[in-house]
Structure 1
Amino acid sequence: MKIGAHVSIADGVHNAVERQLDVGGNCGQIFTASPQVWKGPSIDEDEAEAFRERTAEQLDGPWLIHSAYLVNLATPKDDLRAKSIDSMQAELDAADTLGVEYVNVHLGAHTGAGVEQGLDNAAETLDALDVPDGVQILVESDAGSGTKLGGEFEHLAGVLDRSEQDLGICLDTAHSFAAGYDLATEAGVEAAIDEFDDVVGLEHLKAFHLNDSKHASGTNKDEHAHVGEGEIGEEGMTAILTHPEVRDLPFVLETPTEDGKSFEWNVDRARTLREDA
């Protein structure tokens, strides 16, 4: 089972490997810099080499780099699009340096331009990027609040159809649940995966963000809960983890640290749900 968590790169990106092992993970996700500011990655070659070597020796992989929160692919604003392109290009180059396979990004918000124009903008922004060989951009599903895109599978398919890039998809279980896909039952998970296959195509699904939700399906509220302890619950989480079409994909946790439970508890919880199914 490929499972891990989003871990820190404090004191050097190479330390992320040990942190992943500490929580029981064998794959995972990182930020290369603070996600809340326009500051690109700063990774020296020694750190990169240590990261690559430790990953190859101790993890199954893959790693994902999560792009900065400020990136907005769908924006109609030229200045924000330019900053988003620069930020994403820096992340792609960092992924190439680190030997990381995926760079994960949200579509962002169309801020009044409309869904179709927003998808056009997102594809245009993505097509401006120089994606290194061996690196793939994953578009992440969204909870769908306001003018944000990615809550509907049709949005994900729309940008794949429009873009010339070889894009993949990362499904966030909490986001898709909040957007209205009922993942709380085995039947609901089966229906959602079938719909994804019909609308987007399972061949494009490359990873999951495995998060339970503190809020009900269809609320568009993005707040993560511990695996099996939120509104998705044990049945839904187990159905996702054991579904034959997706069980071999990497599952990356972005669960909270609260109630005395952290990533280690959630990694173990996910494994237990799968083993006991």
Structure 2
Amino acid sequence: MTLRVGAHTSIAGGVHNAVEEQREYSGNCGQIFSHSPQVWQDPNIDDENATQFREKSTDNGIHPWVIHSSYLVNLCTPKDDLREKSIDSMQTEVDAADLLDIEYVNVHLGAHTGAGVEQGLDNAASALDALDIPDGVTVLVESDAGSGTKLGGDFEHLAAVLDRSEQDLDVCLDTAHAFAAGYDLSTATGVEETITEFDDVVGLEHLACVHLNDSKHECGTNKDEHAHIGEGRIGEAGMRAFVNHEAIRDVPLVLETPTENGKSFAWNIERVAELRA
């Protein structure tokens, strides 16, 4: 079983540069934004850059890739204008993934902002159903830290959207988000219980990707701030148990760890490799 671990890399200067950056970190899978995630903007990827990205990824054995959707997307929103913008933005993302031969597009469900949990989940499922998703591209619903009216903190939210949508969806589990939402991953027992619950509620067959991040905050605080692998509140014991769990061993691990204290993505990727038995 090959360890698939990589980082979120930049497309500055052209999307093909993300592959070169991934190589510098010794990653063999990865994630990108197709544009700035803080503005409503369409991807600006020309055919030449797309060809370079595809060829370099293949030549260097870097796969799979994930496109992370804009932070502005809110699938749960009851507001018609924001809903339409979110659907339009997601359509450009799945089309960009198709152009780049990227397998996954990752998205947070967003916040129901007072509409209620059930209505928010219905809104998310129907927004996803409005997409024309190309063959070979799968949308991943990401687990959330669960603050405020944001949905996706409970595994039941993820399962509900997968059940209510007509699309063939899968899930990206973020370890820092799950921990913040109350799933204790800091011990081998906690990891086993969390993965068992995920399987019971969502189904491990839907776990397509993991955002592997430690957490700067305690379990159940709903605070989303990532830490270096093994150096946060999940800690070394929890991370070791997680990356070595049989259900995780073939799942690609994408890091969104910070660059601070002299430690970068390269350090964190090496750390994951060390923890993997």
Structure 1 segment 49-128 matched on structure 2, within 5 A: 49-128=51-130
Taking the aligned partners of 1:45 and 1:246, their CA distance within structure 2 comes to 35
Q: CA deviation at 1:60?
A: 3.7
- In 1, distance between residues paired with 2:259 and 2:127? 34
Q: Could you say what secondary structure the match of 1:203 adopts? A: helix
- 5+ long unaligned stretches in structure 1: none
SS at match of 1:81: helix
Task: Pick one of 3, 21, 24 that aligns with 1:22.
Answer: 24
Report the secondary structure of 1:197's partner residue.
helix
- Point out 4+ residue stretches in structure 1 off by more than 4 angstroms: none
The one-letter code sitting in structure 1 at the alignment partner of 2:151 is L
Shift in Å at residue 246 of structure 1? 1.4
**1:177 counterpart residue number:** 179
Cα distance in 2, alignment partners of residues 31 and 149 from structure 1:
22
Q: What SS does the corresponding residue of 1:137 show, helix, strand or coil?
A: strand
Structural mapping, 1:1-277, within 5 Å: 1-275=3-277
TM-score, length of structure 1 as denominator length? 0.99
Give the 3-state SS of the residue equivalent to 2:50 in structure 1: helix
**Alignment check: 8 A CA contact 2:15 2:50 kept:** yes
Distance in 1 (alpha carbons) for counterparts of 2:17 and 2:72 = 25
How many residue pairs get aligned? The number is 275
Question: TM-score when scaled to structure 2?
Answer: 0.99
- For 1:35 and 1:267, the matched residues in 2 are separated by 24
Sequence identity of aligned pairs in percent?
A: 72
Which amino acid is 1:21 matched to? R
Deviation at 1:59, TM superposition (A): 2.3
Q: Distance in 2 between matches of 1:32 and 1:59?
A: 21
Deviation at 1:40, TM superposition (A): 1.0
Q: List alignment gaps of at least 5 residues for structure 2.
A: none
- The amino acid that maps onto 2:239 is M
Q: Distance in 2 between matches of 1:61 and 1:96?
A: 14
CA distance in 1, matches of 2:261, 2:95: 38
RMSD: 0.5
Whole-Å separation in 1 of the counterparts to 2:107 and 2:61: 23
